[in-house]
A and B are shown apart, each in its own frame.
Chain A
Amino acid sequence: MTTATDNTTARRADKKPATMAQALQRAMRDAMAEDPTVHVLGEDVGTLGGVFRVTDGLAKEFGEDRCTDTPLAEAGILGTAVGMAMYGLRPVVEMQFDAFAYPAFEQLISHVSKMRNRTRGAMAMPIVVRVPYGGGIGGVEHHSDSSEAYYMATPGLKVVTPATVEDAYGLLREAIACDDPVVFLEPKRLYWSKSDWSPEAPAPVEPIGKAVVRRAGRSATLITYGPSVPVCLEAAEAAREEGWDLEVVDLRSLVPFDDETVCASVRRTGRAVVVHESSGFGGPGGEIAARVTERCFHHLEAPVLRVAGFDIPYPPPMLEKHHLPGVDRVLDAVARLQWEAGH
């Protein structure tokens, strides 16, 4: 018999570098092994294992009926998933790239998100829509959109995005187990980010709907998610040299939104910057800034600022570095929070 301490030691020894893509694959694999109603479907998810290899090996292990290469039709993929869910299955749908999910919007908005409500709870839609999203990988046109604002604006959907290997596994497991539809946004440029991780004993993570403080600090809060989390952590390190102690909140879940964690942080620091790569106008940052202002007005020493992508169609790959909010833009915003006043 081993003691708890031994266990922990053993687990630690098991840990080895894993990518976010591998953690996502493992999450689907474990869910499929535990629950025969979980089915994966999409374009090229079978033999190829997905263009990002996130579904690698699933068809081989579980057969083509459980991990299915569909015809090339996003509305058809999501529309048939609706019918499968009606019959008691839990479809996990892969949209190949963010901008190719748009043909499925009708199904997502008119049916997936509303079915529970239309049927007064008689018919849930336990569907996960996995969408690789965002830029920074040098993709050509239509391969780098950040579409989260569209999803967030649709009641009935949950919208989740991991920034760490642990969260990729934990959040996807939860999304698959969730009785409501979840749009699961996978930050493309973090697919190959690595972390020491144990697939046999993955560390438990906070549930969907909880934000986490990735770095504690006292001078201001950076509110961010997905691909911008590493940017903000780097900015926080850089800011230390200037004497700013920045807190970084990783939202993880855009819907439901964790007002509590975000506002507790802002009340502590008195200042906030929202950072994301999707366009600012009509974007998630506006909603977040408004919520923070409504709830923390008397604690704020400065207006809530936004650092976002420009309000332009996603630029060509050779120019994307000018569009994506990087460390410098975050630090500039932090500087604009009028430090002299309080610190």
Chain B
Amino acid sequence: MSTVLILGAGSDMAVAIARKYAREKYNVQLAARKLEYLVPLQQDLQIRYGITATVHAFDALDTASHAAFYASLPVKPDQVICVFGYLGNQETAQDDWEEAQRIIATNYTGAVSILNIVANDYAARKSGTIVGISSVAGVRGRQSNYMYGSAKAGFTAYLAGLRNRLYHDGVHVLSVQPGFVATRMTEHLALPPLLTATPEQVANAVFSAAAAKKNVIYVKWFWRYIMLLIRNIPEGMFKKMKM
């Protein structure tokens, strides 16, 4: 039986991903800061799908602990999915370095720190799959969320580089750029229904894309074209837009 490690397992998207993998008979390792958030999900996965689920304390911001965290896993996972992220508050982050730093550290440096460790292990073992949940916000900086966007842009570039490097070791890296996803994190936003995916749709897309060794996916297909469009707006025009 294969094992998947889910980093940031407390979120709605992570719950859907965990259930999808468990339904496909993966054992699941759930990692997040608050263990008490994970215990109900652990029971749920075991009862519903008859697999083994374990819980592990993991703090993306505490990079010094990452090596020990990875070493302590009871078995090395066949797949690692990096789901954690922090949207933060753009305006606060403009004035408050604490907030800006938290956005950068959660979405970029924290992710890089743990995935470096996983990558080296997988490279040595010549197997494994790494999935990173990045964001379309990373495609182009916009005034409304460029703190988050720039950190995700860094993460997207990191995943691309990692894919290039690990390809030669037989290790696969999948970048996921979900567009809008209806979760608790976005429930206060008025998202256009047609463009918004459910966490379950993200989970299904991640599972099949990882199995098919896809490189980059956007859960709902038209996001690829929206991003193509956004990428191609001349900067002179883009900077004048309010978005």
Partners in one complex: no
On A, residues with C-beta under 8 Å from B are: none
On B, residues with C-beta under 8 Å from A are: none
